[in-house]
Amino acid sequence: PPALPPEREHASALTLLAMLQREGRLVDFLQENVAAYSDAEVGAACRTVHEGCRKVLGQYFTVKPVLPESEGASVTVPAGFDAQRIRLTGNVTGTPPHHGTLRHHGWVTTEVKFPAVSTAMDPRVLAPAEVELA
C-alpha cells in the first residue's frame, strides 16, 4: 500500500497534542517565552495547564509507577532487570543485583483508550484560530 502522508501517519500523536492544547493550553504555554513573567505569573499559568493536561492523561491513559516503592526508598535491582523500565545512574559498577536509592519511580502505561481519528479532520490543526466578531 502507498505510504501515508506524515499528518496521517502521526494522526494519533497530533490528536493527543490537540487534546492537550484544548484542555490545558499546553502548546500556548510552551510557545510562550515565560522569561519575561514573574515566578508567580508562571506558577498561576501552570495550574491551568496542569489541570487540563492531567484531565487528558486520566481520560485516555491508565498509568502506574514502574516501581511501587516511594521515591527516596532503598531498592534492589535484580540480575536480568529490564533496562527499559529501570535506568541505573550514579556509580554503576559490577554486576546485579544492585542496591541504591529510588530517585524516580518511573511510569508505565497499562491501558490506552484513544479515540479514533476522523479522516475528515486535518490532524495538523492543533487548535483553530479564534476570531471574535463584533
Query: In this structure, is residue 74 part of a structural domain?
Result: yes
- What confidence score (pLDDT) does residue 119 get? 82
Query: In this structure, is residue 133 part of a structural domain?
Result: no
Question: Are β-strands 98-101 and 74-77 bridged in parallel, bridged antiparallel, or unpaired?
Answer: antiparallel
| 1 and 43 together in one domain | yes
Percent of the chain's residues with pLDDT above 70: 100
Longest dimension (CA), the chain: 71
Q: Cα dihedral sign for 37, 46, 85, 56? A: negative
Domain that holds residue 28: 1-62+112-128
| 75 and 117 together in one domain | no
Confidence of residue 2 (pLDDT cuts 50, 70, 90): confident
- What confidence score (pLDDT) does residue 76 get? 97
The rounded mean pLDDT for the chain is 93
| 57 and 76 together in one domain | no
| 58 and 119 together in one domain | yes
